[in-house]
Chain A
Amino acid sequence: MTQEIAGTSGEIVMGPTFWIATLIFILAYTLIIYEKIHKTIIAIFGAALLIVLGIVTQEEAFNSLELGIDWNVIFLLVSMMVIINIMKPTGCFEYLAIKSAKIAKGEPFMIMAIFSTVTAVVSAFLDNVTTVLLIAPVTLLICQALELDVVPFLITEALASNIGGTATLIGDPPNIMIGSKAQLGFMPFVYHLTPVIIVVLIVYIISIKFIFGRKMVVKEELRRRVMAMKEKEAIKDPPLLKKSLIVLAVTITGFVIHGMLDLQPATIALFGAGLLLLVSGIKEPHHILAEAEWSSLFFFMGLFIIIGAVVKVGLIKWMSIKVLELTHGNLFGTSMIVMWFSAFASAFIDNIPYVATMNPLIIDMAKQLWPNLSGIDLLHHPDLMPMWWSLALGACLGGNGTAIGASANVIVVGMAEKMGKPISFKKFMLYGMPLMIESVIICMIYVWLRYYVLMV
């Protein structure tokens, strides 16, 4: 599996442009990690500065596929946000959660297991933060009805949402970014990631049974409170719900067959959002559009421009050569390093800027390895594919390691604090880190077995 490393670092000109871009990149990432200034402000200012200094041109920043804003990612995210914003007031998510608690018959561990599974499944199709924001409030209500400690439920849901989000192209932003850069569609993610995520989820549920399951007991009278809840009352707008579910089904079908239609996932999502806006009968779309996470979207845009600049000046290429020197071109070794490094990096830093950097790095690495290939032949080289999956698995699951590893974790920690039940960084890590390591070990075995032993 060892490959010859072609190309040399001689092509990279380490002149003033290189150093200015590198400096801005490092400074921006440092400031993002320190969180003293909002990350979106840093990304916007850093990007603007790079254009002002002429390191990237406006044309490159706005329109270049290789160096500029990845509009696939932006339109996919914004379109899914619009669909959810229309669906939210119908009450379908309240219905789903109350129904789940009743299916569990108010039994604490069953509730935890079903809520975690529902969270994981919903997260596979919606943004993780959105999912947690939809499931956690109902969880808190159910926990208070049953007089149970909310903390284990909040932690297990956040972790489940990060696990579920890893399963598909649209489940987690790193996958959207990888899918766009590596030109991998919805179905390849289903073939390659969903099977291992199902295993990870099953092992996860068994693990939380051992960690939390034995301690929870509920009095019969309290259970009756939950059983008395009428989930049908949650549905506030049945016609809109029906339309939303149909459009969602059309959109997901579109994702499944987008390859056959020769359409990008972003186009499918945009079509879904446009269709739902049209049929929902909404007269004034202002509030639906305004509720999209513009701060995150601008963070992405700024970040893409910053990364574009360091790709252009050759920093990423230089880094890719160093990585290959380190691994001596051993691709199995490289993908394992990518997976574990991604997992630990994502546990402490935002996985979005991390993956934004890793994507061009992997592409540059491929260019060093196979200098004669280009385009899809290069991106989908059989020896390169495990690298993409390792990156996706490591970066998405790694978020479970700490309270700051993923946005979903930050959200539940904030909710717990508001409930007067603060979750310390240490406490979250005590549960998150071992469960994260467990899931990455499963993925490591999977990648090794599937791509290096069975080669399927």
Chain B
Amino acid sequence: MKAKDIMIPFQDYLKPENTLREAVNLLKGAVRGEAKVGVMGLPVLDDKGKLVGMLSMTDILRAVHPSYMDMMNLGDFTWDGMLESFAKQARDKKVKELMTRTVITVHEDDPLMECVDRILKNRVRRMPVLDKAGRVVGMVYLRDIFFAITKAMLEEK
């Protein structure tokens, strides 16, 4: 199987100028497969439809986590309500400020092993799938690759 056989066709995306508030709303209501179940990350496309980044839930977690907490072990000293007030402060930030700019992608004709290789080496959970022209045509999710693996393992001879 190839990437295009398991990918979810491309539908929702973010723009660099979107605010985080708009972004989380879109993530929450994004379509995956048949249902509007929400997704944990979306590609960011510019006006010309070019892929410029990915915004995942980890990026949003990072947006509300103050940078000084990365410098020392301060988790024990946080307070109830801290997260909520940081989330409110962060909601007007732009997607372009927080997105991951180096996007790990696969080509639609790449074999699934290549997808697994990229996922493991880059620690991502989802990757945009590009066609020959470099346009985003879908998304490959860790879960769908896992289903492909289980299918292969459970298949009778």
A contacts, CB < 8 Å to B: 89, 91, 93-94, 98, 133-134, 136-138, 140-141, 144-145, 225, 228-230, 233-234, 236, 415, 418-419
**Known A140-B66, A418-B67, A419-B66: A93·B72 in contact at CB below 8 Å:** yes
Which residues of the partner chain A approach B69 to less than 8 Å between Cβ atoms?
137, 141
Within 8 Å CB of A98, what residues of B?
77
Give the chain B neighbours of A136 by CB distance below 8 A. Answer: 68
- CB neighbours (8 Å) of B72 from chain A are 93-94, 134, 137-138
Question: How far apart are the CA atoms of A89 and B79 in the complex, in Å?
Answer: 22
The residue among B67, B71, B76, B82 with the most chain A CB atoms within 10 A of its own CB is B76
- Can you name 30 A-B pairs with beta carbons within 8 Å? A93-B72, A94-B72, A133-B71, A136-B68, A137-B69, A137-B71, A137-B72, A138-B72, A138-B74, A138-B77, A140-B66, A141-B68, A141-B74, A141-B77, A141-B78, A145-B77, A145-B82, A225-B79, A228-B79, A229-B76, A229-B77, A230-B76, A234-B73, A234-B76, A234-B77, A236-B73, A418-B67, A418-B68, A419-B66, A419-B68
Chain A nearest CB, measured from B68 CB (Å): 4
> Which residues of B79-108 have CB atoms within 8 Å of chain A's CB atoms?
79, 82
CB distance from B85 to the nearest CB of A (A): 9
Q: Which residues of B contact A134 (CB under 8 A)?
A: 72
Q: Are A140 and B68 in contact (CB under 8 A)?
A: yes
The distance in angstroms between the C-alpha atoms of A280 and B132, with both chains bound, is 56
Docked-complex contact A233 and B76, CB < 8 angstroms: yes
A144 touches B73 (CB 8 A): no
Q: Given the complex of chains A and B, what is the CA–CA distance between A228 and B79 in angstroms?
A: 9
Instruction: Return the chain A residue nearest B93 by Cβ.
Output: A420
| Residues on the A chain within 8 Å of B66, using CB | 140-141, 144, 419
Give the complex CA separation of A144 and B78 in angstroms. 10
Q: Are A415 and B77 in contact (CB under 8 A)?
A: no
Contacts of A229 in B (CB 8 A): 76-77
Q: List the A residue with the shortest CB-CB distance to B78.
A: A141
